[in-house]
Amino acid sequence: MSPFRVAPTCTRIARAAAQHIAKREMSNLSVALPTVNKFDPPHRLLCGPGPGNAHPRVLSKMSLPQVGHLDPYFLELMEDIKALLRYSFQTKNEFTIPVSGTGSAAMEACVANMIEPGDKFLIGINGYFGNRLVDMAGRYGADISTMNKPWGQVFSLKEIEENMEKHKPKVLALVHAETSTGARQPFEGVKELCEKYDCLLIADCVTSISGVPLHIDKWGVDAAYAGTQKALSCPPGVAPLTFSDKAMKKLMGRKKPVANWYLDMRMIASYIGGPGGGARSYHHTAPISMCYALREALELVKEETLEVRWARHQEVAEGFWKQLEEIGLECLVAKEHRLPTLTTVKVP
Protein backbone atom coordinates (compact mmCIF):
# COMPACT_ATOMS: atom_id res chain seq x y z
CA MET A 1 0.00 0.00 0.00
CA SER A 2 1.26 3.47 -0.86
CA PRO A 3 2.43 5.42 2.24
CA PHE A 4 0.16 8.26 1.07
CA ARG A 5 -3.02 6.13 1.01
CA VAL A 6 -5.28 5.87 4.05
CA ALA A 7 -6.94 2.52 4.63
CA PRO A 8 -10.77 2.61 4.45
CA THR A 9 -11.04 1.29 8.03
CA CYS A 10 -8.83 4.12 9.32
CA THR A 11 -10.94 6.63 7.43
CA ARG A 12 -14.15 5.31 9.01
CA ILE A 13 -12.62 5.39 12.50
CA ALA A 14 -11.39 8.95 12.00
CA ARG A 15 -14.79 10.08 10.73
CA ALA A 16 -16.59 8.48 13.67
CA ALA A 17 -14.18 10.11 16.10
CA ALA A 18 -14.69 13.50 14.49
CA GLN A 19 -18.49 13.13 14.70
CA HIS A 20 -18.24 12.17 18.37
CA ILE A 21 -16.12 15.23 19.14
CA ALA A 22 -18.46 17.47 17.12
CA LYS A 23 -21.52 16.26 19.08
CA ARG A 24 -19.69 16.84 22.37
CA GLU A 25 -18.69 20.36 21.35
CA MET A 26 -22.16 21.30 20.11
CA SER A 27 -23.28 21.71 23.71
CA ASN A 28 -20.78 24.58 24.01
CA LEU A 29 -22.21 26.56 21.07
CA SER A 30 -24.49 29.49 21.87
CA VAL A 31 -25.78 29.74 18.28
CA ALA A 32 -27.38 26.72 16.61
CA LEU A 33 -26.94 25.76 12.98
CA PRO A 34 -29.11 28.16 10.96
CA THR A 35 -31.80 27.13 8.52
CA VAL A 36 -31.09 28.89 5.22
CA ASN A 37 -32.44 28.86 1.69
CA LYS A 38 -30.89 26.84 -1.08
CA PHE A 39 -28.12 28.83 -2.76
CA ASP A 40 -29.31 29.07 -6.35
CA PRO A 41 -29.39 32.65 -7.70
CA PRO A 42 -32.03 33.23 -10.40
CA HIS A 43 -31.14 34.46 -13.87
CA ARG A 44 -32.21 38.08 -14.24
CA LEU A 45 -32.03 40.58 -17.07
CA LEU A 46 -30.71 43.58 -15.13
CA CYS A 47 -32.15 46.79 -16.59
CA GLY A 48 -31.82 49.07 -13.57
CA PRO A 49 -29.19 51.79 -13.11
CA GLY A 50 -26.72 49.17 -11.89
CA PRO A 51 -25.43 46.62 -11.60
CA GLY A 52 -25.89 45.42 -15.15
CA ASN A 53 -25.36 41.88 -16.33
CA ALA A 54 -21.72 40.89 -16.34
CA HIS A 55 -20.24 39.61 -19.59
CA PRO A 56 -19.88 35.79 -19.63
CA ARG A 57 -16.15 36.06 -20.28
CA VAL A 58 -15.79 38.29 -17.24
CA LEU A 59 -17.67 35.87 -14.99
CA SER A 60 -15.61 32.94 -16.24
CA LYS A 61 -12.33 34.64 -15.25
CA MET A 62 -13.50 34.90 -11.64
CA SER A 63 -13.32 31.10 -11.32
CA LEU A 64 -9.63 30.91 -12.25
CA PRO A 65 -7.06 29.85 -9.59
CA GLN A 66 -6.12 32.63 -7.22
CA VAL A 67 -2.57 33.78 -6.61
CA GLY A 68 -1.26 35.74 -3.65
CA HIS A 69 -1.71 39.50 -3.52
CA LEU A 70 2.09 39.99 -3.58
CA ASP A 71 2.75 37.23 -6.09
CA PRO A 72 4.87 38.46 -9.03
CA TYR A 73 2.12 37.33 -11.41
CA PHE A 74 -0.47 39.44 -9.61
CA LEU A 75 1.78 42.49 -9.69
CA GLU A 76 2.25 41.99 -13.45
CA LEU A 77 -1.52 41.64 -13.80
CA MET A 78 -1.97 44.90 -11.91
CA GLU A 79 0.33 46.70 -14.34
CA ASP A 80 -1.83 45.41 -17.22
CA ILE A 81 -4.99 46.61 -15.46
CA LYS A 82 -3.47 50.05 -14.91
CA ALA A 83 -2.46 50.35 -18.56
CA LEU A 84 -5.93 49.28 -19.74
CA LEU A 85 -7.58 51.72 -17.31
CA ARG A 86 -5.48 54.55 -18.72
CA TYR A 87 -6.88 53.72 -22.14
CA SER A 88 -10.48 53.64 -20.89
CA PHE A 89 -10.00 56.90 -18.96
CA GLN A 90 -7.98 58.41 -21.84
CA THR A 91 -5.22 59.52 -19.50
CA LYS A 92 -1.47 59.14 -19.12
CA ASN A 93 -1.67 59.51 -15.33
CA GLU A 94 0.87 57.24 -13.66
CA PHE A 95 -1.40 56.83 -10.64
CA THR A 96 -4.30 54.97 -12.22
CA ILE A 97 -5.50 52.00 -10.19
CA PRO A 98 -8.44 49.79 -9.21
CA VAL A 99 -9.66 50.61 -5.69
CA SER A 100 -10.66 47.61 -3.58
CA GLY A 101 -14.34 48.46 -3.16
CA THR A 102 -17.30 49.65 -5.19
CA GLY A 103 -17.61 52.99 -6.96
CA SER A 104 -18.56 54.70 -3.71
CA ALA A 105 -15.18 53.66 -2.26
CA ALA A 106 -13.39 55.33 -5.16
CA MET A 107 -15.61 58.40 -4.71
CA GLU A 108 -14.65 58.61 -1.05
CA ALA A 109 -11.00 58.03 -1.95
CA CYS A 110 -11.12 61.17 -4.11
CA VAL A 111 -12.69 63.24 -1.35
CA ALA A 112 -10.55 61.86 1.48
CA ASN A 113 -7.26 62.33 -0.37
CA MET A 114 -7.94 65.64 -2.12
CA ILE A 115 -9.57 67.44 0.84
CA GLU A 116 -7.91 68.69 4.00
CA PRO A 117 -9.88 70.29 6.85
CA GLY A 118 -10.83 73.83 5.88
CA ASP A 119 -10.31 73.39 2.13
CA LYS A 120 -12.90 75.26 0.08
CA PHE A 121 -14.78 72.66 -1.93
CA LEU A 122 -17.33 73.61 -4.61
CA ILE A 123 -19.73 70.81 -5.56
CA GLY A 124 -22.22 70.77 -8.42
CA ILE A 125 -25.53 69.22 -7.38
CA ASN A 126 -27.95 68.20 -10.11
CA GLY A 127 -28.82 64.75 -8.76
CA TYR A 128 -28.35 62.30 -5.92
CA PHE A 129 -24.61 61.83 -6.25
CA GLY A 130 -23.79 65.50 -5.93
CA ASN A 131 -25.50 65.31 -2.54
CA ARG A 132 -23.42 62.27 -1.65
CA LEU A 133 -20.25 64.24 -2.38
CA VAL A 134 -21.48 66.93 0.01
CA ASP A 135 -22.10 64.31 2.71
CA MET A 136 -18.64 62.81 2.31
CA ALA A 137 -16.86 66.16 2.14
CA GLY A 138 -18.49 67.32 5.38
CA ARG A 139 -17.10 64.30 7.18
CA TYR A 140 -13.57 65.30 6.12
CA GLY A 141 -13.89 68.88 7.30
CA ALA A 142 -14.27 70.64 3.95
CA ASP A 143 -15.56 74.21 3.70
CA ILE A 144 -18.39 73.31 1.35
CA SER A 145 -20.11 75.49 -1.21
CA THR A 146 -22.69 74.17 -3.65
CA MET A 147 -24.22 75.16 -6.96
CA ASN A 148 -27.57 73.60 -7.76
CA LYS A 149 -29.65 72.73 -10.80
CA PRO A 150 -32.94 70.84 -11.06
CA TRP A 151 -32.41 67.09 -11.38
CA GLY A 152 -31.90 66.13 -15.01
CA GLN A 153 -30.34 69.45 -16.01
CA VAL A 154 -26.63 70.33 -16.37
CA PHE A 155 -24.46 73.35 -15.54
CA SER A 156 -23.46 75.86 -18.18
CA LEU A 157 -19.86 77.03 -18.32
CA LYS A 158 -21.07 80.51 -17.32
CA GLU A 159 -22.78 79.14 -14.20
CA ILE A 160 -19.66 77.23 -13.22
CA GLU A 161 -17.45 80.31 -13.63
CA GLU A 162 -19.83 82.53 -11.66
CA ASN A 163 -19.68 80.10 -8.75
CA MET A 164 -15.90 79.72 -8.94
CA GLU A 165 -15.52 83.51 -8.93
CA LYS A 166 -17.83 83.73 -5.93
CA HIS A 167 -16.45 80.90 -3.81
CA LYS A 168 -12.76 80.66 -4.89
CA PRO A 169 -12.58 76.89 -4.28
CA LYS A 170 -9.44 74.79 -3.98
CA VAL A 171 -11.35 71.83 -5.39
CA LEU A 172 -14.31 71.64 -7.79
CA ALA A 173 -16.37 68.45 -8.20
CA LEU A 174 -18.74 67.76 -11.09
CA VAL A 175 -20.68 64.60 -11.86
CA HIS A 176 -19.93 63.73 -15.47
CA ALA A 177 -22.61 61.04 -15.61
CA GLU A 178 -25.34 61.47 -13.01
CA THR A 179 -26.62 57.97 -12.35
CA SER A 180 -29.78 59.19 -10.62
CA THR A 181 -31.00 61.23 -13.61
CA GLY A 182 -29.18 60.11 -16.75
CA ALA A 183 -27.71 63.58 -17.37
CA ARG A 184 -24.27 64.06 -18.95
CA GLN A 185 -22.41 67.16 -17.77
CA PRO A 186 -20.30 68.87 -20.46
CA PHE A 187 -16.66 69.36 -19.40
CA GLU A 188 -15.42 71.43 -22.32
CA GLY A 189 -13.95 74.68 -21.01
CA VAL A 190 -13.86 73.65 -17.34
CA LYS A 191 -10.12 72.92 -17.53
CA GLU A 192 -9.41 76.54 -18.42
CA LEU A 193 -11.57 77.77 -15.52
CA CYS A 194 -9.69 75.54 -13.07
CA GLU A 195 -6.38 76.85 -14.38
CA LYS A 196 -7.63 80.42 -14.02
CA TYR A 197 -8.75 79.90 -10.41
CA ASP A 198 -5.94 77.46 -9.45
CA CYS A 199 -8.41 74.73 -8.60
CA LEU A 200 -8.33 70.93 -8.71
CA LEU A 201 -11.09 69.22 -10.71
CA ILE A 202 -12.83 65.99 -9.60
CA ALA A 203 -15.12 64.05 -11.96
CA ASP A 204 -17.64 61.30 -11.21
CA CYS A 205 -17.43 58.90 -14.16
CA VAL A 206 -19.18 55.88 -12.65
CA THR A 207 -21.77 55.58 -15.42
CA SER A 208 -19.71 56.98 -18.27
CA ILE A 209 -16.44 55.02 -18.40
CA SER A 210 -16.22 53.00 -21.65
CA GLY A 211 -19.81 53.84 -22.67
CA VAL A 212 -19.60 57.60 -23.24
CA PRO A 213 -16.76 59.76 -24.65
CA LEU A 214 -14.48 60.45 -21.68
CA HIS A 215 -11.22 62.41 -21.95
CA ILE A 216 -9.57 62.85 -18.57
CA ASP A 217 -6.36 64.48 -19.82
CA LYS A 218 -7.97 66.61 -22.53
CA TRP A 219 -10.54 67.94 -20.04
CA GLY A 220 -7.94 68.63 -17.35
CA VAL A 221 -9.56 66.36 -14.76
CA ASP A 222 -7.25 65.89 -11.76
CA ALA A 223 -9.09 63.11 -9.93
CA ALA A 224 -11.67 60.79 -11.42
CA TYR A 225 -13.45 57.70 -10.21
CA ALA A 226 -15.65 55.16 -11.96
CA GLY A 227 -17.58 51.94 -11.45
CA THR A 228 -17.22 48.51 -13.00
CA GLN A 229 -20.88 47.45 -12.88
CA LYS A 230 -22.22 49.78 -15.57
CA ALA A 231 -20.84 50.01 -19.12
CA LEU A 232 -17.80 47.84 -18.26
CA SER A 233 -20.13 44.82 -17.76
CA CYS A 234 -18.20 43.65 -14.71
CA PRO A 235 -19.56 42.81 -11.24
CA PRO A 236 -19.18 45.50 -8.55
CA GLY A 237 -16.27 45.11 -6.16
CA VAL A 238 -13.37 47.12 -7.56
CA ALA A 239 -13.49 50.71 -8.80
CA PRO A 240 -11.26 52.62 -11.27
CA LEU A 241 -9.47 55.69 -9.91
CA THR A 242 -6.96 58.08 -11.46
CA PHE A 243 -4.99 61.06 -10.06
CA SER A 244 -3.09 63.61 -12.14
CA ASP A 245 0.43 64.77 -11.24
CA LYS A 246 -1.16 67.91 -9.79
CA ALA A 247 -3.45 65.81 -7.60
CA MET A 248 -0.54 63.63 -6.46
CA LYS A 249 1.43 66.77 -5.57
CA LYS A 250 -1.43 67.91 -3.34
CA LEU A 251 -1.71 64.46 -1.80
CA MET A 252 1.98 64.16 -1.03
CA GLY A 253 2.10 67.70 0.35
CA ARG A 254 -0.74 67.29 2.84
CA LYS A 255 -0.22 68.84 6.27
CA LYS A 256 -2.34 66.16 7.93
CA PRO A 257 -2.63 62.44 7.21
CA VAL A 258 -5.54 61.21 5.14
CA ALA A 259 -8.35 60.61 7.64
CA ASN A 260 -9.21 57.23 6.13
CA TRP A 261 -6.55 54.54 6.59
CA TYR A 262 -8.03 52.06 4.12
CA LEU A 263 -8.36 54.64 1.34
CA ASP A 264 -5.08 56.49 1.97
CA MET A 265 -3.67 56.58 -1.55
CA ARG A 266 -0.19 57.48 -0.34
CA MET A 267 -0.03 54.09 1.34
CA ILE A 268 -1.71 52.27 -1.52
CA ALA A 269 0.72 53.86 -3.98
CA SER A 270 3.54 51.91 -2.37
CA TYR A 271 1.54 48.70 -2.78
CA ILE A 272 0.01 48.77 -6.26
CA GLY A 273 1.08 52.18 -7.52
CA GLY A 274 4.72 51.50 -8.34
CA PRO A 275 5.62 51.42 -12.05
CA GLY A 276 6.97 48.35 -13.77
CA GLY A 277 6.21 45.89 -10.99
CA GLY A 278 8.88 47.38 -8.70
CA ALA A 279 9.28 46.90 -4.96
CA ARG A 280 5.97 46.93 -3.10
CA SER A 281 4.90 47.13 0.52
CA TYR A 282 1.85 45.40 1.95
CA HIS A 283 -1.24 47.52 2.61
CA HIS A 284 -4.28 45.28 2.29
CA THR A 285 -5.24 42.02 0.62
CA ALA A 286 -6.46 42.92 -2.84
CA PRO A 287 -9.59 41.15 -4.18
CA ILE A 288 -7.79 38.79 -6.54
CA SER A 289 -10.79 37.33 -8.36
CA MET A 290 -12.37 40.77 -8.83
CA CYS A 291 -9.12 41.98 -10.38
CA TYR A 292 -9.29 39.04 -12.78
CA ALA A 293 -12.82 40.14 -13.70
CA LEU A 294 -11.79 43.75 -14.26
CA ARG A 295 -8.80 42.66 -16.35
CA GLU A 296 -11.11 40.73 -18.68
CA ALA A 297 -13.70 43.53 -18.83
CA LEU A 298 -10.98 45.97 -19.86
CA GLU A 299 -9.70 43.46 -22.42
CA LEU A 300 -13.16 43.50 -24.00
CA VAL A 301 -12.97 47.31 -24.22
CA LYS A 302 -9.57 47.04 -25.86
CA GLU A 303 -10.79 44.47 -28.39
CA GLU A 304 -13.82 46.55 -29.37
CA THR A 305 -11.97 49.92 -29.12
CA LEU A 306 -13.44 52.94 -27.39
CA GLU A 307 -14.66 54.63 -30.57
CA VAL A 308 -16.70 51.60 -31.63
CA ARG A 309 -17.96 51.02 -28.09
CA TRP A 310 -19.10 54.63 -27.68
CA ALA A 311 -20.87 54.51 -31.05
CA ARG A 312 -22.59 51.22 -30.15
CA HIS A 313 -23.98 52.61 -26.91
CA GLN A 314 -25.20 55.75 -28.69
CA GLU A 315 -26.85 53.80 -31.51
CA VAL A 316 -28.66 51.40 -29.19
CA ALA A 317 -29.77 54.23 -26.88
CA GLU A 318 -31.19 56.30 -29.74
CA GLY A 319 -33.15 53.30 -30.96
CA PHE A 320 -34.53 52.82 -27.46
CA TRP A 321 -35.44 56.52 -27.12
CA LYS A 322 -37.29 56.38 -30.43
CA GLN A 323 -39.35 53.42 -29.29
CA LEU A 324 -40.17 55.15 -26.00
CA GLU A 325 -41.39 58.16 -27.97
CA GLU A 326 -43.52 55.95 -30.20
CA ILE A 327 -45.43 54.58 -27.19
CA GLY A 328 -45.94 58.06 -25.76
CA LEU A 329 -43.22 58.18 -23.09
CA GLU A 330 -40.94 61.17 -22.55
CA CYS A 331 -37.33 61.07 -21.35
CA LEU A 332 -36.38 63.26 -18.38
CA VAL A 333 -33.16 64.67 -19.83
CA ALA A 334 -32.86 66.85 -22.93
CA LYS A 335 -31.40 64.80 -25.78
CA GLU A 336 -28.22 66.87 -26.09
CA HIS A 337 -27.33 66.08 -22.45
CA ARG A 338 -28.75 62.56 -22.22
CA LEU A 339 -26.55 59.62 -21.27
CA PRO A 340 -26.70 56.71 -23.73
CA THR A 341 -25.73 54.42 -20.86
CA LEU A 342 -28.70 55.30 -18.63
CA THR A 343 -32.19 56.44 -19.57
CA THR A 344 -34.73 58.01 -17.20
CA VAL A 345 -38.39 58.24 -18.23
CA LYS A 346 -41.04 60.60 -16.90
CA VAL A 347 -43.84 58.69 -15.22
CA PRO A 348 -47.13 59.48 -17.06
> What's residue 277's pLDDT?
46
Strands 171-175 and 200-204: parallel
pTM: 0.90
Q: Give pLDDT tens digits for 169-187.
A: 999 999 999 999 999 999 9
> What's residue 1's pLDDT?
47
Are the C-beta atoms of 217 and 91 separated by less than 8 Å? yes
Q: Give pLDDT tens digits for 230-276.
A: 999 999 999 999 999 999 999 999 999 999 999 999 999 888 765 54
Helix axis angle, 103-114 to 265-272, nearest 10°: 120
| Residue 223 phi, psi (nearest 5) | -145, 125
Mean pLDDT in each 10-residue stretch from start to end of the chain (348 residues)?
56 73 73 94 92 97 94 94 98 97 97 98 97 98 98 98 98 97 98 98 98 98 97 97 98 96 93 59 89 98 98 98 97 97 95
- Which residues, in sequence order, are bridge partners of residue 122? 145, 172
List the one residue out of 79, 103, 75 whose CA is nearest residue 235. Answer: 103
Residues 6 or more apart whose CB falls under 8 angstroms from that of 298 comprise: 81, 84, 85, 87, 88, 232
> What's residue 163's pLDDT?
98
**Bond preceding residue 117 cis, omega within 30 of 0:** no
